[in-house]
Amino acid sequence: MKNIQIIDGADNCTYSIFSIDNSLFELIFPNNQDIEFIEDFMTRLGQEKALICLTALWNNEVDKKEVLEIHGTLFYQNEHKKKYYPTKKEAEMIIDLAL
């Protein structure tokens, strides 16, 4: 099982963490990426397959106090952050020092 943190665009986002089996994780985060944007995911898989993955995800919320690892981050309503993650790998994030 892999843990995914959800970051959405709401001011009151709770940064919830959900668990999903490895095969579904690979569908959300292919090619060793650990960052994904929901819009890209939905386009890549198509609505039907994407909803199957997301339904499995939403049914497995994890208590953050018990999480040992976060394996991926899924962004909602944060397309403006894509420029910082061109490879969709957190370790290769572009840090904008001008901010």
Q: Which two tokens stand for residue 37?
A: 């944007």
Q: Which residues of the chain have pLDDT under 70?
A: 97-99
Q: Which residues, in sequence order, are CB contacts of 57 under 8 Å at separation 6+? A: 4, 18, 20, 24, 28
What is the pLDDT, as a whole number, of residue 99?
A: 53
In the prediction, which pLDDT does 95 show?
Answer: 86
Which pLDDT does position 98 carry in this prediction? 62
- Cα separation of 6 and 18, whole Å? 8
- pLDDT recorded at residue 97: 61
pLDDT, tens digit (0-9, with 9 covering 90-100), for 56-73: 999 999 999 999 999 999
